[in-house]
Amino acid sequence: MGSIWIREFTGGLDTRRRPETTQGGTLIEATDGHVNRGGEFEQRAAFVLSHTLPTGTTGLAYDKTGLVVFGDAEASPAMPAGVRYQRLQHVDDVQLEQVLSADLYAGKLYVVGEFSDGSRVHFYDGVRVDDWYDGRARVSFTLTRVIEPAAIEFITINGVRIIPPGPITLSADFSTSAERIADAINGFVSEPNYTAASRGATVIIVADTAGTTANGYGLSVSGDSDNVQITTVFAAMAGGADPSTVFVPGSFVKTVGSKVYSLSDSNLHFSGIQRPTEWQTDATGAGFIDLSTESSGAEDLVALAKYQGFIAIFAERTIQVWYVDPDPALNKQVQVLNNTGTGCARSMTQFGDNDLFYLAESGLRSLRARDSSNAAATTDIGVPIDDLVTDALSELGENGMKRVIGLIEPRDSRFWLVIGDRIFVFSYFPGSSVSAWSVYRPGFVVDDAVVFRQRVYVRSGDRILAYGGTGPKREYDDTPARARLPFLDGDAPARQKRLTGVDASLDGVWRLSVSTDPNAPEAMDVVGILNQTTFGLGQVPVMGGGTHVSLLLESEGPGPHRLASLVIHYDSDEEAT
C-alpha cells in the first residue's frame, strides 16, 4: 500500500511541461483562487458592484476626493456618490475615445486623452496643456441638408481622392451619414493619407503625419448637389506644424520628483520644476532628451517607471536606465538593456523594493538589480504561465494592448496582470517559500483598474466593481474555484496503481474528481463531495487505476473555500510493469 501526500501548493500554476511530468506542489489548473501565505489554495473574493455609471464616460482614475471618470460632454452627467466626472475637451470638439495614461501631481490629475480623430491631448486638472500640440493639418465640413436618396461621390484634398470609388449613400440622420463618410475615409489609403472622425453632423479630416506640407491643401466634396448640402469650417487644410518646432503629445506620463515626465516618439520630455504645465525650455528644469541618440531601438518609447534611485524608460525592444536630476545638465544614462522591453505601457508595476514587473512579447519579466553593483538585469518571473499570457496577448489588437494593466492588490500584496477577461495573479511570500501563479476569470472584460484607499476597483463598461466589496469584511460569492493537480506517479511512473481512496484537509464544500489517463486528461470521474477534513474520519473511497493520477477540486456554493492538503492512497504491484 502506498500514498502520495500533497502537503502544499507553493509552486502554484505551472504550464511549462506536460501534466504527467509536472512536479508535485504545483497545479496544472488554478482558476478563481490563489495560494495563500501558508501554501494553501483558497477561493478569490467577489467582484462586487460598487457604482453604476451613466453612459458617455470612459477611463478610471482617482484623486484625493475619490474615483474619477472622464468624458467630453460640457454638462456633467449625473454621477453616483463617490465618483467625479472630469471633462477633457478637444479644441475641435471631437469625441474622447479613451484615457491612455494618468498620474497625480500635487493631488491633481495629469491625463493623456486620445480622441476619435487619432489625436492625443494632455490635460492637467481638466485644462488642456498648451505646450503640447498635435501638429497635423486638418479641415472639416458639416452636413446641413440631406434629402434621401442622397450620396457623396468624391472627396478630394489637393486633387487627391480620399474615399474609395463608388458613392457613399447618406441618410437624413446627419450623425449616421457623417459617421459613414468618416469610416469611408479611414478605410481608404491615399497618398498622402488622411484619417477622419465624426462629431454629430461634422466630419473632421486630419493629415496622417505632422508637418506644414498639407497647410493650404483645398478640400472638395461633390455628389448629389440637389439633395446634399454642406458647409466648410475652413476651405483648406490648416494648423499643420513642423514636428521639430512643437512638442507632439505622447501617450504616457509619470510624476517623478518635482516634475512630470512624458514620452513622445524617441524623446523623453520633462516639465519645469513644480510646473507640470510648462514644458518649454524657458521653464526652469524643463527640457527633453532624444534617447534614439543614446541607443538604437529607442525610436518609439512606450513607458517609464521609477527604478530604485533611477528611472527606466522602455521601448518595445530596449530599456534605458537613467539618473535624472532637477537640473537637466546632471541627467545621465546609467545602463542600456537590449532585446527586451514592452509594448504595454500600463503593465509596468513596482513590486516590492527591487523589482519592476513588465509584460514583454515573450511573457512577464522583472527588472531587478543583478548584484551589489545595482546593475539592472531581467528575470523570467512569469515563466510558469508565459504560454497562457502570450496566448491572451495574441488575442488583443493594438488598442487592446493599451488596456493591459498591472497593479498590486494591497491587502495581500499580490501582483495582478489584467488582460481582457483574465487576471493573472502572482502570490509571492518568500518567508514561506510561496511563489505561485493563478488566474481569475471575473466573467467580464476589465476596461480599467485602479487601487484606491486600499481596494482594487475595476471598470467594465459602465460598471465599477470593488474586489472583495467595500465593507470591512471581504465578501465572497459562489464563483467556483478550481484546483487541479498534475498527473502524479508516486516516484514510480511505470508502475500500475490501484486507487483506494483520498484524504483531504479543507474548508467549505468541494467536489472531487479523479483522472488516471494522461492521454485523456479531460476524462474525469466525480467521486464525492467533501465538506470537512477527512483525516481521522476515514478516507473517501476511490476506484480505478493507472500509472498516474490527477485530482480536480471545485468549490461549490458561497465562499470562502480553502484547500490545504491532499493524500492519494493506492495499492501497487511490487515490480514495474
Residue 560 belongs to some domain of the structure: yes
Whether residues 339 and 190 fall in one domain? no
The pLDDT of residue 50 is: 97
Query: pLDDT digits over 246-272, tens only?
Result: 788 989 999 999 999 999 989 999 999
- Which residue range is the domain that position 545 belongs to? 2-30+37-45+479-572
pLDDT range class, residue 282, cuts 50, 70, 90: confident
Rounded to an integer, the average pLDDT of 43-47 is 98
Whether residues 257 and 317 fall in one domain? yes
Residue 179 belongs to some domain of the structure: yes
pLDDT at 574 over 70: no
Beta-carbon contacts of 302 under 8 Å, excluding residues fewer than 6 positions away, are 252, 263, 314, 315, 316, 341, 342, 343, 344, 345
The pLDDT of residue 576 is: 43
Whether residues 249 and 223 fall in one domain? no
Domain's final residue, options 177, 204, 232: 232
Q: Which three cell numbers stand for residue 257?
A: 520628483
Whether residues 311 and 416 fall in one domain? yes
The pLDDT of residue 379 is: 72
Between 368 and 520, the more confident residue is 520
CATH number at residue 344: 2.130.10.10
Inter-residue contact 356 to 349 (CB < 8 Å): yes
- According to DSSP, the β-strands at 83-87 and 66-71 are parallel
Rounded to an integer, the average pLDDT of 388-412 is 87
Whether residues 425 and 459 fall in one domain? yes
Sheet hosting strand 376-379, strand order edge to edge = 349-351, 355-360, 363-369, 376-379
- Say how far apart CA 384 and CA 316 lie, in whole Å: 22
User: Average per-residue pLDDT in the chain?
Assistant: 91
DSSP result, 261-312: EEEETTEEEE-BTTBTT--STTSTT-EEEEGGGTSTT-SSEEEEEEETTEEE
The pLDDT of residue 444 is: 96
Domain's final residue, options 467, 497, 517: 467
Residue 237 belongs to some domain of the structure: no
Query: pLDDT digits over 176-204, tens only?
Result: 999 999 999 999 999 999 999 998 888 99
Whether residues 299 and 348 fall in one domain? yes
The pLDDT of residue 91 is: 86
pLDDT at 40 over 70: yes
Whether residues 285 and 168 fall in one domain? no
Query: pLDDT digits over 342-392, tens only?
Result: 999 999 999 876 789 999 988 899 998 655 555 666 677 889 999 999 899
Domain's final residue, options 232, 253, 284: 232
Whether residues 167 and 265 fall in one domain? no
Query: pLDDT digits over 298-345, tens only?
Result: 999 999 999 988 999 999 999 999 999 999 999 999 999 999 999 999
The pLDDT of residue 375 is: 66
The pLDDT of residue 219 is: 92
